[in-house]
């Protein structure tokens, strides 16, 4: 998935919330596959949460505490999806530049 001398943004953070990167030219290696699997899980979780959020927003009896928890969960999912989009966008840019 990555070109030589290119870094892949990984779908998790390091110490103190700093981004983690993978430097490899083997897109089929263990760490690349692990990152792919975690990204797929994050996207699946976000899709499920979006469906739950739609239901909750339609619920006239939903309390403010429920809505705060929903907002917190949505914020986390959005953060994950944005990281996946950034990582995949970087990979596409490398591909368009003819580096892959």
Who's near 22: CB < 8 A, 6+ residues apart?
Answer: 2, 7, 8, 10, 31, 32, 35
95, two tokens: 């591909």
Residue 3 pLDDT: 45
Q: What is the DSSP string of 34-92?
A: HHHHHHHHHHHHHHHHHHHHHHHHH-TT--HHHHHHHHHHHHHHHHHHHHHHHHHHHHH
Tens place of pLDDT per residue across the chain (100 aa): 444 557 889 999 998 989 999 987 777 889 999 999 999 999 999 999 999 999 999 998 989 999 999 999 999 999 999 999 998 887 777 666 655 4
Cβ(2)–Cβ(25) below 8 Å: yes
At 84 the pLDDT is: 94
Please give the model's pTM, rounded to 2 decimal places: 0.77
| pLDDT at residue number 44 | 96
> What pLDDT is stored for residue 74 in this prediction?
96
Residue 90 CB neighbour total at 10 angstroms: 16
């Amino acid at each position: 998935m990555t070109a030589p001398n290119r870094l892949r943004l990984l779908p998790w953070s390091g110490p103190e919330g700093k981004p983690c990167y993978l430097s490899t030219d083997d897109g089929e290696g263990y760490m690349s596959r692990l990152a792919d699997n975690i990204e797929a899980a994050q996207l699946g979780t976000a899709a499920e949460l979006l469906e739950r959020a739609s239901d909750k927003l339609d619920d006239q009896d939903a309390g403010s505490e429920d809505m705060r928890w929903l907002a917190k969960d949505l914020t986390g999912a959005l953060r994950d999806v944005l990281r996946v989009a950034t990582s995949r966008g970087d990979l596409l840019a490398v591909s368009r530049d003819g580096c892959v």
